[in-house]
Amino acid sequence: MSALLRLRGITKVYPSVVASDRIDLDIQPGEIHAILGENGAGKSTLMKLIYGVSQPDEGEIQWQGQTVHIRSPAQARQLGIGMVFQHFSLFESLTVAQNISLAVKGSIRELSARVEETGARFGLPIKADTVVHSLSVGERQRVEIIRCILQNPKLLIMDEPTSVLPPQGVQQLFETLRRLRDEGCSILYISHKLEEIRQLCDKATVLRAGRVVASADPASHSNESLANLMIGRSIEPPPHAPANAGDAKRLLIQSLDHVPTDPFGTVLKGISLHVSPGEIVGIAGVSGNGQNELMRLVSGEELHSAHHAGELSIDGTCVDRLGPLQRRTKGLGFVPEERLGRGAVPELSLSLNGLLTAYRHGLTRLGMIRFGAARKFARQCISDHDVRCGGEQSLAGSLSGGNLQKFIVGREIALQPSLLVLSQPTWGLDVGAASNIRRALLQLRDSGAAVLVVSEELEELFEISDRLYVMFDGHLSPSLTTRDTSTTQIGRWMSGEFLQETITGASDH
Amino acid sequence: MLDSLVFLIAGTLAAATPLLFAALGETVVEKAGVLNLSIEGMMAVGAATAFTVATLTGSHVSGFAIAALASALLSTVFAILVLFFLANHVAAGLAVGILGLGLSALIGKNHEGQTISPLSDLDMGWLSELPLLGKILFSHDPMLYLGIVMIFLVWWLLSHSKLGLIIRAVGESPDAASAIGYPVILIRFLAILFGGAMAGIGGAYLVLSYTPLWAEGLVAGRGWIVVALVVFGMWRPLRIALGAYLFGAVSLLELFIQGMGFSIPSQLMSAMPYIVTIVILVIMSRNPRLIQLNHPASLGQSWHRNA
């Protein structure tokens, strides 16, 4: 059997780094092939080369036995290569059918029918006449996949597709991908989630620092041995001693209602939550169920309206009317979900980005910046958290997502906050980097800080948190002790089951 | 009384037409993600060219056609600056606008203060003879009707045609549009040319029909009101048309009130159409949801491949 796609000696050099180093890769028709690697191992670069976004400096690409030069994504699509991006390339103000009609020939009416029919065939239910901005991330991904399928691809590239999906959604996606494979479409699956690759993929190629280091049958490996291949050393999960939580309530929210200013935001209803010093509290839930709104309230980016019930307090003082800066002086540290623009300023250097939140910690004097101290602070964050970059003067926007995240989390931890709030702290990070961050959070907890983590990754929450809440449709569940609960229960609560349980619970009395 | 009503409505239609052309053109430009602030200058060039050509050739049709060409040519300067040299849209628009005002003075220099016979009305036979309605609706020049047709044409283009879909896609996310394979720069270029031609026609209408004379500075800020119309009309042709007619109506009321002998300072009176139009449109467009749905997300941002 001849390979569908064959890469030979593909090399791509960027000014500061060799992103792809003599890569060989064979993809057979009808297989799901994983590309596995850490952040910055060169997975995305390789995909861009295959999809024609950029061109290799050296090497040869063969498609169905023919040597090809793929100069643009349009050409890649003509060959039969489709790609679903990590950040979606949909037009938010257009409907599903309109979006698809931009890439696929046919009238809107005819396409609407095909969209819904294809959706049903592959387990991707979607309504063709909804406007994209009102869809959840998971639904948007469906639209992207359907758009690719309608172009009859022979090879479908999926870039970290599960990073935006809830656990149930992941299984559904796998089912779709298997059906696609059974119809003869090969799939190139990029991920750093080992468990998924073992479940789904027929073959795995492991990249490290731009090189192919191994080619493996994932089903015959354990997670640990795959991780070893990927990182080149073994990693241990952070030791998780039970929490030593005090009775004090560092962060306290009591039956709080809130209508967000964003017209598409989720209304928060009766949120009660507390975090004590010395514990990590997790909030699970599919994104878009009000986590963002809650985070904005806690960070002070959005103020809780006095017309609504409830209040927010830190260390017993009401902070409802305090802005982010004043809350930070009370010991709050905050890591938002969006790294660029909210967590860091892309156009500023790392040392100036450090200054943004750390300026009170000896980095200014009489209103003047102490550049030496600021650079030293940034260097410290970089070395403490293994941030891979060109030094503290490199621009935040030039770092890969994972490395910038390490820097931002490192910066906030370095400030030794008494209350640290993080949203998706390890989103898009590989196992090694994620486990470093989790370890740092546990250390911070053991030093007596209160930590609140919003995450979509259940495994992560189970690994580090002492107590858990689940968020659904603007409601927050009662608190659960992590040790006494299971992923199954959390999974059920994530679809809102706790609401009925609380109601029945109440009616029992 | 009836006469005044006829005068008011017919006058409103005429006063709104120059703005209508320019605003519909600018809507397409902005929907494609380009903010062209040089409308005032383009209208002025259109007006001066139209007047000169029509005076020299005696043909109003040539006047309109050459005016559209001239303004499109001026908008090409803007397009090259913005699309190929990645100039800031606002700065480039202002510069080209000022250039246009200067050019218009130069072009119209020999005709300063002259008048011209206005574009003749369309004869619609018995329709124009109808009592009242005939005078209000069926005794205008052909360009005024073309303006009304353009409202629906641009509306249909943007919301119902494939081309419109592509224009909106380019305006929302040039990266995604380019990834699918659409020529973003070409589409923006053509949109800018269309916007230029429409502004030129708007300017031409001013001097060949509305006030059939040429004087420097005759556009008098209408190009700026057009920018406001497009934004506060939320890039929706029907709302924008409504805004243009509102502006026309208030301009007419001004004459009425003066005629009735109220002693309101004339400066305030001439400012009224601008103030009233903006205030009403701002109030109408407060809805953040509508703004989010209609606002071209990449408006005014420079773009190039592989950014």
Do B180 and A133 make contact, defined as CB atoms within 8 angstroms? no
CB A48 within 8 A of CB A21: no
Q: Is B175 on the interface with A (CB under 8 A)?
A: yes
Residue A166: pLDDT band by 50, 70, 90 thresholds?
Answer: low
In B, which residues are within 8 Å of A133 by CB distance? 292-293
Q: Do B181 and A131 touch (CB under 8 A)?
A: no
pLDDT at B100 over 60: yes
pLDDT at position B53 is: 97
By percentage, how much of chain B surpasses pLDDT 90?
66
Contact B172 A94 (CB under 8 A): yes
> Measured between CB atoms, which of A54, A103, A264 is closest to B180?
A103
Select the residue from B31, B173, B187 to test the A interface by mutation, using most A Cβ atoms within 10 A: B173
**Over the stretch B181-219, which tens digit does the pLDDT of each residue have?**
889 999 999 999 999 999 999 999 999 999 999 999 999
Annotate A81-99 with DSSP letters as a single string: EEEE-SS----TTSBHHHH
Contact assessment for residue B223 and residue B43, using Cβ atoms and an 8 Å cutoff:
yes
A74·B180 Cβ contact <8 A = yes
DSSP state for residue A62 in the 8-state scheme: E
Closest C-alpha to A281, from A290, A269, A272, A268: A272
- Whether residue B307 is contained in a domain is answered as no
Instruction: Name the residue facing B165 among A54, A94, A131 (closest C-beta).
Output: A94
**For A354-411, how does the pLDDT look when each residue is reduced to its tens digit (9 = 90+)?**
998 888 888 888 888 899 999 999 999 999 888 888 888 888 887 877 788 889 999 9
Give the domain CATH number at B141: 1.10.3470
Helix, strand or coil for residue A478? coil
At residue B197, the pLDDT reads 98
Q: What separation in angstroms does the CA of B239 have from each of A242, B229, B280, B284?
A: 63, 9, 11, 9
Whole-number percent of chain A with pLDDT over 90: 35
DSSP character string of A129-187:
TSBGGGS-HHHHHHHHHHHHHTT--SEEEEESGGGG--HHHHHHHHHHHHHHHHTT-EE
Closest residue by Cα to residue B42 from B20, B78, B80, B71: B71
pLDDT of amino acid A333: 93
Q: Which of B169, B175, B294 sits opposite A102 (nearest CB)?
A: B169
A93·B294 Cβ contact <8 A? yes
Q: What is the pLDDT of residue A14?
A: 78
Mutate one of A77, A100, A102, A261 to test the B interface: name it (highest B CB count within 10 A): A102
User: Does any domain span residue B174?
Assistant: yes
Architecture field, domain A251-505: 3-Layer(aba) Sandwich (3.40)
CA-based nearest residue in chain A for residue B296: A93
pLDDT band per the 50, 70, 90 thresholds, residue B85: very high
Given an 8 Å threshold on Cβ–Cβ distance, is B169 in contact with A94? yes
A263–B165 C-beta distance less than 8 A: no
Length of chain B: 307
Least confident piece of the model among A439-453, B44-58, B80-94, B291-305: B291-305
pLDDT band per the 50, 70, 90 thresholds, residue A507: very low
Q: Which two tokens stand for residue B92?
A: 């480039």
Tell me how crowded residue A242 is: count the other CB atoms within 10 A of its CB: 9
pLDDT single digits (tens) B234-280: 999 999 999 999 999 988 888 777 777 777 887 888 888 888 888 88
Considering the domain A5-231 in this protein, what is its CATH number?
3.40.50.300
The residue ranking higher by pLDDT, A413 or A121, is A413
> What pLDDT, on a 0 to 100 scale, did the predictor assign at position A421?
95
On whether any CB of chain A is under 8 Å from the CB of B177, the answer is yes
B292 touches chain A (CB under 8 A): yes
Domain assignment of residue B114, yes or no: yes
**Nearest residue in chain B measured CA to CA from A106:** B162
In a domain, B303, yes or no: no
- Residue range B105-158, pLDDT digits in tens: 999 999 999 999 998 888 788 888 887 788 888 888 999 999 999 999 999 999
Residue in chain B nearest A89 by alpha carbon: B176
Structural domain that includes position B195: 2-294
* ipTM for the whole complex: 0.82
Mean pLDDT (chain A, rounded): 86
Nearest chain A Cα distance for residue B292, angstroms: 8
Which regions of chain B does DSSP assign to beta strands (E)? none
**Secondary structure letter of residue A101 according to DSSP:** H
Q: Which residue has the higher pLDDT, A17 or B304?
A: B304
Candidates A53, A101, A263; nearest CB to B288: A263
Structural domain includes residue B243: yes
* CA–CA gap between residue A43 and residue A202 (Å, rounded): 18
Q: Which of residues 215-274 of B touch A (CB under 8 A)?
A: none
Q: Confirm whether B242 is domain-assigned.
A: yes
Least confident of A3-7, B56-60, B288-292, B300-304: B288-292
Give dist(CA B223, CA A313) in Å, integer.
53
Question: In chain B, which residue's Cα lies nearest the Cα of A103?
Answer: B180
The dihedrals phi and psi of A244, each to the nearest 5 degrees, come to -120, 60
Across the interface, do B176 and A133 touch by the CB < 8 Å criterion?
A: no
Q: How confident is the model over A267-317, as pLDDT tens digits?
A: 899 999 999 999 999 999 877 788 989 999 999 988 887 778 888 999 989
Model confidence at A161, pLDDT cuts 50, 70, 90, reads: confident
Binary contact (B181, A94; C-beta < 8 A): no
Q: Which residue of B169, B288, B289 is in closest CB contact with A91?
A: B169
User: What values do phi and psi take at A317, rounded to 5?
Assistant: -100, 135
Contact indicator for A142, A126 with CB cutoff of 8 Å: yes
Residue A505 has pLDDT above 60, yes or no: no
Contact check, Cβ <8 Å, B172/A93 = yes
Query: For residue A502, what pLDDT band results from cuts at 50, 70 and 90?
Result: low
What's the CA gap between B305 and B307, in Å, rounded? 5
The predicted pLDDT at position B295 comes to 87
> How is chain A split into domains, by residue range?
5-231, 251-505
CB contacts, 8 Å: B289 with chain A? 263-264
**The pLDDT of residue A86:** 67
Polymer length of chain A:
509
- Please state the rounded mean pLDDT for residues A322-336: 91
Q: Do domains A5-231 and A251-505 have the same CATH topology?
A: yes
- Report yes or no: B55 at the A interface, CB cutoff 8 Å: no
- Chain A, chain B: beta-carbon pairs less than 8 Å apart: 51
Q: Does B163 touch chain A (CB under 8 A)?
A: no
Q: Which of A7-21, A222-236, B157-171 has the highest mean pLDDT?
A: B157-171
Does B102 map to a domain? yes
Per-residue pLDDT band at A235 (split at 50, 70, 90):
low
Contacts of B173 in chain A (CB under 8 A): 89, 91
A94–B292: do the CB atoms touch at under 8 Å? no
pLDDT at A164: 65
| pLDDT value at residue A508 | 39
Q: Is the minimum CB–CB distance between B168 and chain A shorter than 8 Å?
A: yes
Interface residue B173 vs chain A (CB under 8 A) = yes
The verdict on a CB contact (< 8 Å) between A133 and B168 is: no
Q: Do A73 and B306 touch (CB under 8 A)?
A: no
Highest mean pLDDT among A4-13, A88-97, B250-259: A4-13
